[in-house]
């Protein structure tokens, strides 16, 4: 039985348990629900949960262990010389066996391999049967015990609530587990990368050409992993984006909050927010297909040499994407400035723009700075626009008309297509991911702190 049908079977089992628990509680109460501590439904739920939860946990453990155990048995039956291969090569062999077993194309198809694949399939079948039997037995056993313990005085509701509370608590730890997962996964691989490439070379190196380092016996074996050109490219594009997004976003927020009539605001604000809802791949499409050729054409008109994948095009479109982000955050903080503050300036005879420039903006400044920091973190982490519209060439330049590459572009390039998991080339992507995570996390923490302080000031 496959996992989905097994889960369905367990659901059926627990429904039956619910009914049995419910029945038993009623019959024990001699038809008078008042005699029970908890309503019959809770007794049913109690039985059902006992029937399902331990069995599900067992299923999870079984599925997790099945693969490695079967693989181990198959490997231990392989010829000696195969077993003595290096872990990477052995891994390839195992992959081939798996591919043969699932009917896919494998690189080698010797009789030995075919036999191993057969064995693999057979073992998989045994394991599946064993798991099915164990899980169903577990469900029936636990359900029966729970059913037996039902008494009129049993605090079934309290038990059920405790189980649910446990589930709630477990869910809320997922956020932490995610962060831990991110940190561990990028950190672990990064450490392996830094064992091959010194940290200083990575952070201060000016030359980035990871494509060289595919095999140790090739010419130019040790590729260059100096990430400075990537950092510079990321900063250049983010800078262009912020030059577009901050003034435009801020001014739109000001216009909508302070000048526009409610009806205009009611129409324009959602329209601007549409910009925020458009998937980044669409921006990338527009940048690569329309904006970049347009800028290149403009450059040709005035005699400038513009790369077809210029930083300017990517930055410009990214800036447009971030406009609604800046403007809605600024809108929030501008609206949080108390009206009394504006009244004070108006009552002195300040014009609207004077009030805004000299009273509202300075008062809202911390909040706006926080918002801009969040926007910067977004620009740095943005991927699709740069993957589609920025280049792959790691040029160290500040010229917005030339092609640059960014951290995110390189992560995507290094990890898509063929990959061996242990080459520095793949591991470099995780090192870049680590840098990206640390930088954006830092920006976010600072920005959220600043915004929170600002909110408290006016609460």
Partner 1 sequence: MADQPGAAVMEAGALEFRGAEVDLVDERRESRETVGTPFIDDPRMSCRDVNVYYSDNHAIKNVSLDIGREQVLAMIGPSGCGKSTFLRALNRMNDTIDGCRMTGEIKLDGNDIYAKDMDVVPLRALVGMVFQKPNPFPKSIFDNIAYGVRIHGLAESKSEIEGIVEHSLKRAGLWEEVNDRLHQPGTGLSGGQQQRLCIARTIAVSPEVILMDEPCSALDPIATARVEDLINELGQDYTIAIVTHSMQQAARVSQRTAYFHLGDLLEVGPTDQIFTNPIHPLTEDYITGRFG
Partner 2 sequence: MAASEKSTIERVRATLARRNRAERRFKNFGRAAVLVGLVFLVLMFVNIILTGYSAFWQTFVKLPVHFDAQVIDPGGAGDPETLGSADYGALVKTSVRSLFPEVSGRRHRRDLGQLVSRGTVFQLRRMVLEDPSLVGSRAEVWVPADDDYDMLHKGNVDRTLPEADRRLSDRQIGWFDRLADDGRVESRFSATFFTAGDSREPELAGIRGAAMGSFFTLAVTLLLSFPLGVATSVYLEEFAPRNRVTALIEVNINNLAAVPSIVFGLLGLAVFINLFGLPRSAPLVGGLVLTLMTLPTIIIAGRAALKSVPPSIREAALGVGASKLQMIVHHVLPLAMPGMLTGTIIGMARALGETAPLLMIGMVAFVVDVPQSVTDAATALPVQIFLWLDSPERAFVERASAAIMVLLAFLVAMNALAIVLRRRFERRW
Span 270-329, contacts to partner 1 by CB under 8 A: none
According to the binding rule CB under 8 A, does residue 350 interact with partner 1? yes
Is 35 a binding residue for partner 2 by CB under 8 A? The answer is: no
Choose the one of partner 2, partner 1, none that binds residue 207, judging by a C-beta under 5 to 8 angstroms depending on kind. none
| Partner whose footprint covers residue 353, from partner 1, partner 2, none (CB < 5 to 8 Å by kind) | partner 2
Choosing from 140, 440, 446, 455, the residue that interacts with partner 2 (CB under 8 A) is 440
Residue 100 token pair: 């043969």
Residue list 404-433, contact with partner 2 (CB under 8 A): 408, 411-412, 415-416, 421, 429-430, 433
Applying the rule CB under 8 A, the residues between 205 and 224 that interact with partner 2 are none
CA 227/CA 202 separation, integer angstroms = 5
- 318: nearest Cα among 387, 253, 386: 386
Binding range to partner 1, per CB under 8 A, among 348-356, 385-393, 394-402, 426-434: 348-356
Please identify which residue in the block is written with the tokens 């889960």: 7
Per DSSP, the three-state class of 33 is: helix
**Residue 279, SS3 per DSSP:** coil
CA–CA dist 48, 142 (Å, integer): 10
Nearer to partner 1, 260 or 415 (CB): 260
Which residues, 6+ apart, have CB-to-CB distance to 363 below 8 Å? 337, 341
- HSE at residue 176, side-chain half, CA atoms within 13 A, is 5
Q: Which of 409, 430, 414 is nearest to 183 (CA)?
A: 430
**Which of partner 1, partner 2, none is residue 219 near (CB under 5 to 8 Å by kind)?**
none
DSSP state of 293: H
What residues from 351 to 380 belong to the interface with partner 1 (CB under 8 A)? 351, 354, 358-359, 362-363
Work out the burial of residue 108: count CB atoms within 10 Å of its CB; fewer than 13 is exposed, 13-18 middle, 19 or more buried. exposed
Q: How many CB atoms lie within 10 A of CB 182?
A: 14
Contacted entry of partner 1, partner 2, none for residue 340, CB cut-off 5 to 8 Å set by kind: partner 1
Interaction of residue 268 with partner 1, rule CB under 8 A: no
Determine, following the binding rule CB under 8 A, whether residue 145 of this chain makes contact with partner 2: no
- Residue placing its CB nearer to partner 1 in the complex, 198 or 344: 344
Please report how close the Cβ of residue 320 comes to partner 2 at its closest, in angstroms. 5
User: Both tokens of residue 155?
Assistant: 């605090």
Identify the three-state secondary structure at position 209: strand
Q: Which is nearer to partner 2, 3 or 399 (CB)?
A: 3
Q: How many residues bind partner 1 (CB under 8 A)?
A: 21
**What residue has token string 């730890």?**
173
Helix (DSSP H) and strand (DSSP E) numbers for the chain = 19, 2
User: Which residue among 76, 171, 261, 271 contacts partner 1 (CB under 8 A)?
Assistant: 261
Integer distance in angstroms from the first to the last C-alpha of the chain?
Answer: 59
Site string for partner 2, 37-66 (x = CB under 8 A): ---------------------------x--
Answer yes or no whether residue 459 interacts with partner 1 by CB under 8 A: no
Among 272, 275, 345, 446, binds partner 1 (CB under 8 A): 345
Question: How many Å apart are CA 325 and CA 371, to the nearest integer?
Answer: 8
Q: Is the Cβ of residue 280 or residue 402 nearer to partner 2 in the bound state? A: 280
Q: Which is nearer to partner 1, 172 or 339 (CB)?
A: 339
If the CB atoms of residues 179 and 457 are measured against partner 1, the closer one turns out to be 457
- CA–CA separation, 23 and 21 (whole Å): 5
The first and second tokens of residue 457, run together, are 């000031």
Q: How far apart are CA 232 and CA 393, in angstroms?
A: 12
Binding mask 16-55 for partner 1 (x = CB under 8 A): ----------------------------------------
Q: Which of residues 382-401 bind partner 2 (CB under 8 A)?
A: 382-384, 387-388
Cβ proximity to partner 2, 57 vs 281, nearer residue: 281
Structure tokens at 87: 């872990």
Q: Which residues bind partner 1 (CB under 8 A)?
A: 261-262, 338-351, 354, 358-359, 362-363
């Amino acid at each position: 039985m496959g996992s989905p049908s097994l889960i369905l079977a367990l659901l059926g089992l627990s429904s039956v348990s619910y009914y049995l628990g419910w029945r038993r509680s009623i019959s024990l109460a001699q038809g008078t629900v008042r005699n029970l501590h908890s309503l019959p439904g809770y007794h049913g739920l109690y039985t059902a949960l006992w029937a399902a939860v331990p069995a599900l946990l067992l299923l999870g453990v079984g599925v997790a262990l099945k693969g490695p155990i079967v693989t181990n048995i198959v490997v231990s039956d392989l010829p000696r010389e195969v077993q003595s291969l290096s872990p990477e090569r052995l891994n390839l062999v195992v992959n081939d066996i798996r591919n043969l077993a699932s009917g896919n194309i494998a690189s080698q198809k010797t009789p030995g391999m075919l036999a191993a694949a057969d064995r693999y399939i057979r073992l998989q079948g045994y394991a599946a049967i064993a798991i099915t039997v164990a899980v169903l037995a577990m469900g029936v056993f636990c359900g029966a015990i729970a059913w037996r313990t039902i008494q009129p005085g049993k605090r079934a509701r309290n038990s059920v609530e405790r189980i649910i509370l446990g589930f709630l608590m477990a869910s809320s730890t997922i956020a932490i587990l995610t962060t831990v997962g991110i940190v561990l996964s990028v950190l672990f691989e990064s450490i392996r990368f830094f064992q091959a490439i010194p940290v200083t070379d990575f952070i201060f190196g000016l030359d980035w050409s990871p494509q060289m380092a595919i095999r140790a016996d090739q010419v130019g074996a040790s590729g260059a992993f100096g990430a400075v050109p990537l950092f510079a490219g990321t900063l250049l594009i983010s800078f262009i984006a912020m030059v577009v997004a901050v003034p435009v976003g801020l001014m739109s927020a000001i216009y909508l909050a302070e000048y526009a009539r409610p009806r205009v605001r009611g129409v324009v604000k959602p329209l601007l927010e549409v910009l925020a809802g458009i998937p980044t791949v669409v921006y990338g499409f527009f940048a690569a297909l329309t904006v970049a050729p347009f800028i290149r054409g403009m450059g040709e008109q005035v005699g400038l040499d513009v790369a077809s994948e210029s930083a300017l095009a990517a930055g410009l479109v990214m800036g447009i994407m971030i406009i609604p982000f800046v403007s809605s955050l600024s809108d929030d903080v501008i609206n949080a400035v108390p009206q009394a503050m504006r009244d004070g300036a108006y009552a002195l005879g300040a014009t609207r723009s004077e009030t805004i420039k000299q009273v509202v903006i300075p008062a809202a400044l911390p909040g706006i700075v926080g918002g801009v920091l969040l926007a910067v973190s977004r620009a740095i982490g943005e991927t699709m626009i740069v993957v589609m519209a920025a280049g792959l060439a790691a040029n160290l330049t500040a010229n917005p008309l030339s092609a640059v590459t960014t951290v995110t572009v390189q992560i995507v390039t290094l990890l898509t297509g063929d990959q061996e998991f242990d080459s520095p080339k793949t591991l470099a992507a995780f090192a870049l991911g680590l840098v990206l995570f640390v930088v954006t996390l830092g920006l976010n923490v600072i920005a959220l702190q600043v915004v929170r302080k600002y909110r408290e000031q006016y609460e």
